[in-house]
Amino acid sequence: MKTAVILGSLGQDGRILEGQLKQQGYKVIGIDRNHQVDICKPKAVKDLISNTRPDEVYHFAAFHQSSEEEVSETPEFKEKSHDVNVASVQYFLEAIKMYSPTSKFFYASSSHIFGENKDGIQSEETPFNPTTAYGENKAKAMSLCRHYRNAHNIFACVAIFYTHESCYRSEKFLSQKVVQAALRKEPISVGDLSAVVDWGYAPEYTQAAQSIMHTLIPEDFIIATGHKMTVQDFVAETFSSCNLNWKDYVRENKEILKRKGPVRIGNPSKIKRVTGWIPKTFGQALAKILLQTTKELKDK
């Protein structure tokens, strides 16, 4: 039986991945904020890795904010962000190097590592140019993975995730804010209806993560659909699927948007070529499945 450690096991991706791995017969050790293992303490990480010697470690733990949350620049916030998004990565890579060198390590990075580029499309070759502290920390952690991969022969692979959704998102994220409003038939305000997003389906993205972990050579991969969708189109599809006119329920209020990010569309051709993974759920299909699965979760 293979053993996998999932960091951030109560988050959207960790929760989905844990279920998928257990169905495949894995023993899963889930680490979250309520777990006794503090991933920001090197000794705790060392003890975890040396005692369990897992086959796979998935680092989904993250510390960040949504676009409708006030940006925090306090020293405490910056320190916590660095501890979770960067320092913990180094602690795990070092522990693997010292105590379990055959363990495979997966790091979930973010499209926030990229800034603006002319056509808005990024590949694995696009230079890092983050415009947020979160993006900067994700880029630093990727560099750590590359270092341990090249200098110490550690299997450290990286996925650059683009926006992906599921019924497990909280309502502080736009997708669930819209879905819940449509199901309740309640009015909402959104920050920017014209915003363009590369939106995918989280259960497919965690399957992509597994396909990356199972490649022969650890590399960096973009996980994205490669398709554009405006917030207005997502809103319209969601409300239409509930037989509602979105214009009766949704108004735009740019004041609630604390920051506006650049258009980021991922080119998934590398992961398609190397692993065979293909994104299947986006656009109208994404809106429909989010409604369906969210309703099913509420009815349980």
Strand partners, 223: 161
Reported as type and span, the H/E element at residue 274 is helix 269-275
- By CB neighbour count within 10 A (0-12 exposed, 13-18 middle, 19+ buried), where does 278 fall? exposed
Rounded distance between C-alpha atoms, residue 284 and residue 289, angstroms: 9
Rounded distance between C-alpha atoms, residue 131 and residue 116, angstroms: 9
* CB contact at 8 A, 162 and 174: no
AA letter at 268: P
Reported as type and span, the H/E element at residue 209 is helix 202-213
Residue numbers in the chain where pLDDT is lower than 70: 34-35, 64-73, 117-119, 259
Which pLDDT score is estimated for 67? 47
CB atoms within 10 A of CB 198: 26
Q: Which two tokens stand for residue 75?
A: 């020293």
Which pLDDT score is estimated for 94? 99
Reported as type and span, the H/E element at residue 281 is none
Which pLDDT score is estimated for 261? 76
| Inter-CA distances, 164 with 213, 229, 243, Å | 19, 12, 25
pTM of the model: 0.94
* Sign (positive or negative) of CA dihedral 59, 90, 92, 87: negative
AA letter at 183: L
* CB contact at 8 A, 32 and 84: no
pLDDT of 117-141, one tens digit each?
Answer: 666 899 999 999 998 889 999 999 9
Domains and CATH numbers, the chain: 3-169+200-224+266-279 (3.40.50.720)
Phi, psi for residue 115 in degrees, rounded to 5:
-95, -150
* CB contact at 8 A, 226 and 267: yes
Which pLDDT score is estimated for 71? 55
Q: Which two tokens stand for residue 51?
A: 């005692």
Tell me the three state secondary structure of residue 237.
Answer: helix
Which pLDDT score is estimated for 123? 96
